[in-house]
Chain A
Amino acid sequence: MSSHTKLSFAHPPARPGETPDFSALEIPAAGALPVPRLDIAAQDCVEHANSLIRVMDDRGEAVGPWADYLSDMEPEALREGLRHMMTSRIIDMRMMNAQRQGKMSFYIQSVGEEAIACGFQRCLKPGDMNFPTYRQQGLLIAGGYPLEKLIGQFYSNAYDPLQGRQLPTLHSARDYGYFTVSGNLGTQYVHAVGWAMANALTGKDNIAIGWIGDGSTASNDFHTALLSASSYWPPVILNVVNNQWAISTYTGVARGHGRTYAARALGYGIPALRIDGNDYLAVLAVTRWATERVRAGHGAILIEWYTYRVGAHSSSDDPSAYRPKDEAKAWPLGDPIERLKQHLILSDEWSEARHVQAEAEILAEVIEVQKRVEAAGTMIDPKPIPGASIFKGVYADMPEHIRRQRQEMGV
């Protein structure tokens, strides 16, 4: 009898040229899971961590206890949420085109995942701090961040609040609760826990929110953050955006033989929920619940947002090389904008005509801002930021050796 052992390599259900296959995806009915007690413990969270919380059913109707949890939500708030998602998508479209036109070096879009960041931001208070990745621009858009600063950062011109020091989409906006984004993956997850600990230690009521992608859960600092949150129980929400692709690496490689990323938190004693990330109402409901829990002092929580990265990882990536071209269309949890739109139409709070009109308005606004920002310089019409910016802010005070280098540069 052979004793030869073999390794297990994760594979996506379909590769280019094959038919998209999401048949293994278990999609529970909307409204199936209860709203837990705010002080729920990890051991009582097994179902919430392994299933999928959904609020909107296939028709777009909000059903179940999580829908009741949102019963005070005004239609105007939902229309505003729809507008945030549409703005995010239109900016993505315009910026991807600008990148292809050679006007900027690089761009990262969030098409298909707009509900998560746009919805989450609606439940935060001034002074709360997100520790995002490069794909959470929706936090800024929904938080009212000026579009000229958002777009200026992509172009690294005079409108860029960061003076050309960071890659496009690596924003920093302290006043809007947006921590400076790192190009290294996962590091910010620990910072969120530290910030939350500082809030607790200094008597602030604010919370911190960590964001990480499914691929980056493989980083040391994902586990470091969970360990730290488990040790000290600070007011932090740890989000995992599972969009199923880490550039070309299928999510199963990072997940291994674990069932869900949410369930991973349970081993640290941290309660966790798993949510349909394309369901704007589910995002709102669960975020509202999670922020209430954390603000009430019941400790850290992890949320896995289950979604699908419709676009490429970045403007430098070609997903048709590693997954079926039409896979996004086959994604069974739909499009977050279409789903909220349908929900609002179903409740007579929206219409196709109003949607078309809103799209045109948002597009006109984005184009106006884009033109204004582009006038301050693009890669094909450069109006460079003064080189002295390189030497500013390395330290609070400029040391002698940097002063000499600045003189050498002649600025």
Chain B
Amino acid sequence: MPHLTMIEALRDAMDVMLARDPQVILFGEDVGYFGGVFRCTSGLQKKYGEERVFDTPINESAIVGLGIGMAAQGMKPCVEIQFADYVFPAYDQITQEAARIRHRSNEQFSCPLVIRMPTGGGIFGGQTHSQSPEALFTHVAGLKVVQPATPYDAKGLLIASIECPDPVIFLEPKRLYNGPFNGDHKAPAQSWKTHALGDVPEGHYAIPLGKARIHREGEAVTILTYGTMVFVAEAAVEKAGIDAEIIDLRSLLPLDLEAIEASVRKTGRCIVLHEATKTSGLAGEIIACVQEACFYHLEAPIQRVTGWDAPYPHALEWDYFPGQDRVCRALEAVMEV
């Protein structure tokens, strides 16, 4: 089984689907000839031709709006927004159109569109290259929102997203494009090439949307997280020496309520960890779900570890980023009760 980086796994997923389904089409800024600024689509135009993989003008509303028209006609567009921070000119098209078309037309039309976008910090991107806007999409009925943490999941979830009959926001944690990250920016970079979770089967496989993954089994406390923070949580748990269960949510809308509830009922304690800003972030929603379903199983108040309520600062990314020390403090707090 080959070891792949997340970028290679994503490219492999698109390659598999382009070969398998003639309705699949890729486009976006720089996606065609150059292969995207992160090179996720590198080589695919050469392999499949300009009618399957092509460049667009720098206009996110065009990328998404054209994708909606194509998807409604019966194609399966998988489009790329260069950074999640750039998606907002297309926000109206995504939230008022793509998300609504099936419902408002009583299923006469649908929108099987995948919108890929790199998300999150850790690359010195600053305010407009490091944001995590997932909560702005998980609030929208009709969308699905996905974020993988491993190359294996990236490929399987992207294939499932392309096969999904509804629009999917596919958030790619760019700090994990080349290898996992434990929240310590001074530590040597790890590569997926030497990491077990970089094992990616060849050919077609799909990971169902809406299903979480148990990243680490444990009994003492549940950490609910996703994307880059999965590995920050792992490092913190090892450092703290606590037998925590880490759930990689993978699918942020819909959430895997059954997996979340089963784990919290087992451990009786819960931390929700994400990189996005705190106020009205996804952690608030997840905590509300846990409170509704697991209140009588809880031994301690739920802890929330997130990015700060400030724009992502370029030179201060490591102060902003919820690193393993902050997770350790939350672990101590939740285990004290």
Nearest neighbor of A166 in chain B, beta-carbon distance: B104
User: Which chain B residues (253-269) contact chain A, with CB distance < 8 Å?
Assistant: 254-255, 257-258
Known pairs A182-B96, A198-B74; A191 contacts B69 (CB<8 A): yes
A224's partner among B65, B101, B257 (CB-CB below 8 A) is: B65
How distant is B246 from chain A, measured CB to nearest CB, in Å?
22
Q: Most chain-A Cβ atoms within 10 A of its Cβ — which of B72, B103, B258? A: B103
Nearest neighbor of B73 in chain A, beta-carbon distance: A198
Interface flag for B191 (CB, 8 Å)? no
Interface flag for A228 (CB, 8 Å)? yes
Contact B61 A172 (CB under 8 A): no
Which residues in B have their C-beta under 8 angstroms from that of A190? 61-62, 65-66, 68-69, 93
Known pairs A184-B96, A191-B97, A399-B254; A393 contacts B103 (CB<8 A): yes
Known pairs A184-B92, A192-B69, A394-B103; A202 contacts B74 (CB<8 A): yes
Interface flag for B25 (CB, 8 Å)? yes
A-B contact count (CB 8 A): 143
Nearest neighbor of B255 in chain A, beta-carbon distance: A401
| Alpha-carbon distance between A193 and B62 when the two chains are bound, in angstroms | 9
Nearest neighbor of A187 in chain B, beta-carbon distance: B97
Which residues in B have their C-beta under 8 angstroms from that of A159? none
How distant is A252 from chain B, measured CB to nearest CB, in Å?
26
Interface flag for B284 (CB, 8 Å)? no
Nearest neighbor of A204 in chain B, beta-carbon distance: B73
Known pairs A165-B106, A195-B69; A184 contacts B97 (CB<8 A): yes
B57's partner among A166, A198, A228, A393 (CB-CB below 8 A) is: A228
Contact B67 A194 (CB under 8 A): yes
Contact A395 B65 (CB under 8 A): no
Interface flag for A396 (CB, 8 Å)? yes
How distant is B207 from chain A, measured CB to nearest CB, in Å?
16
Task: Report B's interface with A, CB cutoff 8 A.
Answer: 23, 25, 51, 56-57, 59, 61-62, 65-75, 89, 92-93, 96-97, 100-110, 141-142, 144, 165-166, 210, 254-255, 257-258
Which residues in B have their C-beta under 8 angstroms from that of A179? 72, 109
Which residues in A have their C-beta under 8 angstroms from that of B93? 187, 190, 221
Interface flag for A352 (CB, 8 Å)? no
Contact B65 A194 (CB under 8 A): yes
Nearest 4 pairs of A and B residues by beta carbon: A194-B69, A190-B65, A194-B66, A399-B254
Which residues in A have their C-beta under 8 angstroms from that of B57? 227-228, 231
Contact A172 B108 (CB under 8 A): yes
Contact A172 B104 (CB under 8 A): yes
Known pairs A190-B61, A231-B56, A394-B141; A173 contacts B96 (CB<8 A): no
Task: Report A's interface with B, CB cutoff 8 A.
Answer: 129, 131, 161-163, 165-166, 170, 172-174, 179-180, 182, 184, 187, 190-199, 201-202, 208, 220-221, 224-225, 227-228, 231, 392-396, 399-402, 404
Which residues in B have their C-beta under 8 angstroms from that of A401? 254-255, 257
| Alpha-carbon distance between A393 and B68 when the two chains are bound, in angstroms | 17
Query: 7 A–B contact pairs at CB < 8 A?
Result: A174-B108, A174-B109, A392-B103, A393-B106, A394-B141, A400-B254, A400-B258
Contact B166 A199 (CB under 8 A): no
How distant is B162 from chain A, measured CB to nearest CB, in Å?
14
How distant is A148 from chain B, measured CB to nearest CB, in Å?
16
Contact B75 A227 (CB under 8 A): no
| Alpha-carbon distance between A172 and B107 when the two chains are bound, in angstroms | 10
Which residues in A have their C-beta under 8 angstroms from that of B70? 194-195, 197-198, 201
How distant is B256 from chain A, measured CB to nearest CB, in Å?
8
Contact A400 B257 (CB under 8 A): yes
Which residues in A have their C-beta under 8 angstroms from that of B66? 190-191, 193-194, 197, 228
Contact A394 B96 (CB under 8 A): no
Q: Most chain-B Cβ atoms within 10 A of its Cβ — which of A194, A198, A404? A: A194
Known pairs A198-B75, A396-B110; A180 contacts B101 (CB<8 A): yes
Contact A180 B109 (CB under 8 A): yes
Contact A396 B72 (CB under 8 A): no
Contact B102 A187 (CB under 8 A): no
Q: Most chain-A Cβ atoms within 10 A of its Cβ — which of B66, B69, B101, B257? A: B69
Known pairs A220-B89, A221-B61; A197 contacts B69 (CB<8 A): yes
Which residues in B have their C-beta under 8 angstroms from that of A399? 210, 254
Contact B105 A180 (CB under 8 A): yes
Contact B142 A395 (CB under 8 A): yes
B65's partner among A170, A191, A231, A402 (CB-CB below 8 A) is: A191
| Alpha-carbon distance between A221 and B90 when the two chains are bound, in angstroms | 10
| Alpha-carbon distance between A191 and B68 when the two chains are bound, in angstroms | 6
Contact A227 B62 (CB under 8 A): yes
Contact B165 A396 (CB under 8 A): yes
Contact A172 B105 (CB under 8 A): yes
| Alpha-carbon distance between A396 and B209 when the two chains are bound, in angstroms | 13
Nearest neighbor of A183 in chain B, beta-carbon distance: B96
How distant is B118 from chain A, measured CB to nearest CB, in Å?
23
Which residues in B have their C-beta under 8 angstroms from that of A174? 105, 108-109
| Alpha-carbon distance between A194 and B63 when the two chains are bound, in angstroms | 9
Contact B92 A187 (CB under 8 A): yes
B106's partner among A162, A198, A227 (CB-CB below 8 A) is: A162
Which residues in B have their C-beta under 8 angstroms from that of A220? 61, 89
How distant is A14 from chain B, measured CB to nearest CB, in Å?
35
How distant is B327 from chain A, measured CB to nearest CB, in Å?
27
Contact B65 A221 (CB under 8 A): yes
| Alpha-carbon distance between A396 and B164 when the two chains are bound, in angstroms | 9
Which residues in A have their C-beta under 8 angstroms from that of B23? 202
B59's partner among A163, A195, A199, A224 (CB-CB below 8 A) is: A224
How distant is A101 from chain B, measured CB to nearest CB, in Å?
27
| Alpha-carbon distance between A231 and B57 when the two chains are bound, in angstroms | 8
Contact B62 A191 (CB under 8 A): no
B103's partner among A165, A196, A202, A404 (CB-CB below 8 A) is: A165
